[in-house]
């Protein structure tokens, strides 16, 4: 357990002294903040029109879930930005250790692969929290100014989905980072794979044939969408937890390969 | 303390080390000597548990590296060829991290840190970022991380590389001081290093062990004798015959430097020192002796001989 904490601490230290961390955070807040504003003003314009129409033709404007609309748009862009930015957070995790030779220190210390991988993964999840938690401010604003207060579930589940999606992406990023000692290779491979995961979503379409169903099941974003709609389905939880497990397991195999590689 | 048997490591068809066996006693300093690419680093990486051998076993402190890697790793301090440092950490943070993952308890952490820094003369550098340190200091931090958990066994891969001459002397001094409490294996391709720090040498070339012995014996065994240089004054005509009467003398050659002044080289065989006999002969012959010096075949000569004529010498050594 002390090994695990020591590794978490060291990882957080190296993550947060790197300028990449701040570039990623700045880009993330900028883009998500802009889109939140964009969606919010779009919805407000629409509401204004509705109100004007209602005034002209008499009667009440139809009920409209404005906060829900804004949050769905916001969570949609959130997932896309995570796909773009998380490879940059994970690229150094193992690649840099290999390049510096510090992997020799880690692998010749009485630390198990489990402690090492979970330590690194936990630090990455902490970083993900630093990205996501400040955006809760947006939600708070929506709650504060909405009449009547919007339902809580879609928001909470949206964040749960964002964390699970982010976790799965981080686990795979960790794996790709462990394959190479070059951060650029690591980030490019991770990025390409994430792009494929994104495209799968479109390829799957809406048809209900077996291949389409399968593709749809594999799409990391499809599972996420239900969360943002406020639906908690155990199949999505199973999907994300298995993705995280798979990513970390592959990382462990990759570390082990140093032992049996010819 | 360390028992290595028939260790072999293959990368595909390339054999990095081939059937390497040796033992190290507790408190001994063993030098692994060989040209670059001989398999020193591979051997050390196997012993430190970084990767396993293709065949063979290695026992460190009573534990098998492959069966009980964690037990071995707890007892081994390892300095790889390039010190494994995180540039963005300070020396203290780095050493604390290493100590923790090496299993040093919270209570002992501060004393271990202090001791390691003192031993490697890093007391003043605790707050500095590693990336701002010079090469020599980085090497010291590398050494400190190997020492920090007070391991029974130290594996040092080229501990003096990149250091200036004064630092090299300091590090050698440090290694000599560590012997006794710690069992040390160090590798180098620099000869004076082993002859000054090690009690025993393993010479390795192309992945195979070509010789194992103490520096002195290795030199004696291979040269099988000495060169003795004399400077004499007087008539030197009978000198070769006189000297060749000594049974240990193999050959004598005389060269006239000035009138009446000769330089004589005598080749002897066996490990016995016969300088006194030679001096007596010269004086008895009525000549004046100006200089008499013996030269052993240096380790350098042995090394070159072993690593260039590997097969021949290998047989000679085992014979």
**Looking at beta carbons, which residues of chain B come within 8 Å of A17?**
88
B163 half-sphere exposure, CB direction, 13 A CA radius: 24
pLDDT of B270 higher than 80: no
Instruction: Report the interhelical angle of B310-318 vs B215-223 (nearest 10°).
Output: 100
A28 pLDDT tier (thresholds 50, 70, 90): very high
Give the model's pLDDT for residue B100. 94
Say yes or no: A102 contacts chain B, CB-CB below 8 A.
Answer: yes
Between A215 and A117, where is the model more confident?
A117
Given an 8 Å threshold on Cβ–Cβ distance, is B101 in contact with A18? no
CATH code, residues B225-296? 3.30.70.260
Give the model's pLDDT for residue B289. 87
Residue of chain B whose alpha carbon sits nearest to that of A262: B11
Separation between Cα atoms, residue A21 and residue A132, nearest integer Å: 14
For B120-160, write each residue's pLDDT tens digit: 888 888 899 999 998 888 998 999 999 999 999 999 998 88
Percent of chain B residues topping a pLDDT of 70: 89
Separation between Cα atoms, residue A224 and residue A215, nearest integer Å: 14
Instruction: Report the interhelical angle of A220-228 vs A234-260 (nearest 10°).
Output: 140
A88 pLDDT tier (thresholds 50, 70, 90): very high
C-alpha distances in Å from residue A158, one per residue of A12, A154, A166, A230, B69: 26, 6, 12, 7, 44
Give the model's pLDDT for residue A238. 93
For B276-309, write each residue's pLDDT tens digit: 888 888 888 888 888 888 776 566 666 776 666 5
Give the model's pLDDT for residue B177. 85
**Residue B290: other Cβ atoms inside 10 A:** 13
Given an 8 Å threshold on Cβ–Cβ distance, is B101 in contact with A109? yes
Separation between Cα atoms, residue B47 and residue B64, nearest integer Å: 10
Across the range A203-220, mean pLDDT stands at 77
pLDDT of B49 higher than 80: yes
**Looking at beta carbons, which residues of chain A come within 8 Å of B71?**
110
Q: What is the mean pLDDT of chain B?
A: 84
CB contact at 8 A, A216 and A222: yes
B186: which residues sit within 8 A by CB, 6+ positions away? Answer: B29, B30, B31, B32, B154, B155, B156, B157, B158, B159, B175, B193, B197, B198
B257 pLDDT tier (thresholds 50, 70, 90): confident
pLDDT of B53 higher than 60: yes
Give the model's pLDDT for residue B310. 43
The closest alpha carbon to A143, from A153, A129, A133, belongs to: A153
**Looking at beta carbons, which residues of chain B come within 8 Å of A100?**
84-87
pLDDT of A261 higher than 80: no
pLDDT of A240 higher than 90: yes
Q: What angle do CA B5, B9, B13 make, to 5 degrees?
A: 140
Write down the H helix ranges in A108-233.
113-132, 136-145, 153-178, 183-204, 210-218, 220-228
The closest alpha carbon to B39, from B209, B172, B156, B183, belongs to: B209
Q: Which H or E run contains A47?
A: helix A19-57
Give the model's pLDDT for residue B246. 84
Give the model's pLDDT for residue A97. 93
B114 pLDDT tier (thresholds 50, 70, 90): very high
Give the model's pLDDT for residue B314. 41
Write down the H helix ranges in chain B.
40-48, 69-75, 91-101, 106-119, 135-147, 165-178, 191-197, 215-223, 239-244, 275-284, 299-308, 310-318
Given an 8 Å threshold on Cβ–Cβ distance, is A262 in contact with B85? no
Q: What angle do CA B67, B71, B76 make, to 5 degrees?
A: 115
Across the range B152-180, mean pLDDT stands at 85
Give the model's pLDDT for residue B298. 62
For B202-233, write each residue's pLDDT tens digit: 888 888 888 888 877 776 665 556 778 888 88
Across the range A125-147, mean pLDDT stands at 88
Give the model's pLDDT for residue A95. 93
Q: Which of B10, B70, B84 to mutate to test the interface with A (most CBs of A within 10 A)?
A: B84
Across the range B52-81, mean pLDDT stands at 91
Which ipTM value was assigned to this complex? 0.86
So where are chain A's domains?
2-260
Across the range A123-142, mean pLDDT stands at 91
B260 pLDDT tier (thresholds 50, 70, 90): confident
Say yes or no: A17 contacts chain B, CB-CB below 8 A.
Answer: yes
pLDDT of B98 higher than 90: yes
Tell how strand B29-33 and strand B183-188 pair up.
parallel
Say yes or no: B162 contacts chain A, CB-CB below 8 A.
Answer: no
Separation between Cα atoms, residue A111 and residue B248, nearest integer Å: 60
Across the range B54-78, mean pLDDT stands at 91
DSSP letter string, B63-107:
EETTT-HHHHHHHEEEE-SS----TTSBHHHHHHHHHHHTT--HH
Tell how strand B153-157 and strand B183-188 pair up.
parallel
For B24-45, write each residue's pLDDT tens digit: 999 889 998 888 888 899 999 9
B311 pLDDT tier (thresholds 50, 70, 90): very low
10 Å CB burial of residue A56 (0-12, 13-18, 19+) is exposed
10 Å CB burial of residue B111 (0-12, 13-18, 19+) is exposed
So where are chain B's domains?
2-221, 225-296
Give the model's pLDDT for residue B318. 42
Q: Which of A104, A119, A257 to mutate to test the interface with B (most CBs of B within 10 A)?
A: A104
Across the range A205-221, mean pLDDT stands at 78
Separation between Cα atoms, residue A47 and residue A45, nearest integer Å: 5
Give the model's pLDDT for residue B299. 64
- From chain B residues 100-139, the ones with a CB under 8 A of any chain A CB are 100-103, 106
Q: What topology is assigned to B2-221 in CATH?
A: Rossmann fold (3.40.50)
A234: which residues sit within 8 A by CB, 6+ positions away? Answer: none
Instruction: Report the interhelical angle of A113-132 vs A153-178 (nearest 10°).
Output: 140
10 Å CB burial of residue B299 (0-12, 13-18, 19+) is buried
Residue found by looking up tokens 């961390």 in the block: A21
Model pTM?
A: 0.81
Question: CA torsion angle for B176, B76, B192, B299 (degrees, to 10)?
Answer: 110
Percent of chain B residues topping a pLDDT of 90: 28
State whether residue B279 is helix, strand or coil: helix
Q: What is the mean pLDDT of chain A?
A: 88
């Amino acid at each position: 357990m002390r090994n695990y904490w020591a590794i978490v601490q060291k990882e957080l230290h190296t993550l947060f002294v790197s300028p990449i961390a701040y570039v990623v955070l700045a880009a993330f807040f900028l883009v998500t903040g802009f889109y939140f504003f964009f969606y919010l003003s779009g919805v407000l314009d629409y509401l204004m029109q509705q109100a004007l129409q209602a005034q002209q033709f008499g009667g009440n404007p139809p009920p409209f879930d404005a906060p829900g609309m804004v949050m769905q748009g916001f969570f949609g862009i959130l997932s896309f930005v995570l796909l773009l930015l998380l490879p940059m957070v994970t690229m150094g995790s193992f690649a840099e250790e290999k390049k510096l030779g510090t992997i020799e220190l880690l692998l010749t210390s009485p630390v198990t692969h489990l402690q090492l991988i979970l330590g690194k993964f936990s630090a990455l999840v902490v970083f993900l929290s630093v990205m996501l938690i400040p955006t809760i401010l947006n939600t708070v604003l929506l709650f504060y100014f909405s009449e009547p207060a919007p339902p809580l579930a879609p928001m909470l589940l949206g964040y749960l989905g964002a964390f699970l999606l982010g976790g799965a992406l981080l686990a795979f990023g960790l794996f790709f980072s462990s394959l190479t000692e070059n951060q650029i290779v690591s980030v490019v491979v991770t990025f390409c794979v994430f792009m494929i995961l994104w495209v799968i979503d479109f390829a799957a379409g809406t048809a209900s044939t077996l291949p389409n169903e399968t593709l749809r099941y594999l799409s990391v974003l499809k599972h996420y969408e239900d969360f943002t709609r406020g639906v908690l389905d155990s199949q999505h939880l199973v999907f994300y937890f298995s993705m995280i497990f798979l990513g970390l397991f592959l990382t462990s195999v990759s570390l082990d390969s140093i032992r049996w590689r010819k | 303390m360390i028992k290595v048997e028939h260790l072999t490591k293959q990368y595909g068809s390339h054999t990095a080390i081939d059937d390497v066996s040796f033992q190290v006693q507790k408190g001994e300093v063993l030098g692994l000597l060989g040209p670059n690419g001989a398999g020193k680093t591979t051997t050390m990486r196997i012993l430190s548990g970084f990767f396993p051998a293709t065949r063979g076993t290695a026992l460190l402190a009573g534990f098998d590296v492959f069966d009980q890697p964690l037990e071995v790793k707890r007892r081994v301090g390892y300095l790889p060829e390039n010190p494994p440092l995180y540039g963005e950490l300070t020396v203290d943070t780095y050493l604390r991290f290493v100590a923790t993952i090496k299993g040093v308890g919270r209570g002992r952490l501060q004393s271990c840190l202090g001791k390691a820094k003192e031993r490697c003369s890093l007391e003043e550098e605790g707050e500095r970022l590693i990336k701002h340190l010079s090469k020599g200091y980085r090497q010291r931090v590398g050494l400190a991380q190997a020492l920090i958990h007070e391991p029974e066994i130290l594996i040092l891969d080229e501990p003096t590389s990149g250091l200036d001459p004064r630092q090299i002397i300091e590090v050698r001094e440090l290694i000599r001081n560590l012997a006794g409490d710690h069992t040390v294996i160090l590798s180098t391709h620099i000869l004076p290093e082993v002859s000054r720090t090690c009690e025993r040498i393993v010479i390795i070339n192309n992945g195979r062990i070509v010789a194992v012995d103490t520096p002195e014996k290795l030199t004696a065994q291979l040269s099988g004798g000495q060169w003795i240089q004399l400077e004499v004054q007087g008539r030197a005509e009978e000198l070769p015959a006189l000297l060749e009467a000594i049974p240990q003398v193999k050959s004598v050659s005389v060269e006239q430097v000035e009138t009446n002044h000769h330089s004589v080289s005598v080749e002897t065989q066996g490990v016995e020192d016969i300088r006194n006999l030679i001096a007596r002969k010269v004086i008895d012959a009525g000549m004046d002796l100006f200089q008499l010096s013996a030269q052993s075949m240096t380790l350098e000569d042995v090394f070159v001989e072993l690593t260039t004529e590997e097969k021949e010498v290998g047989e000679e050594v085992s014979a």
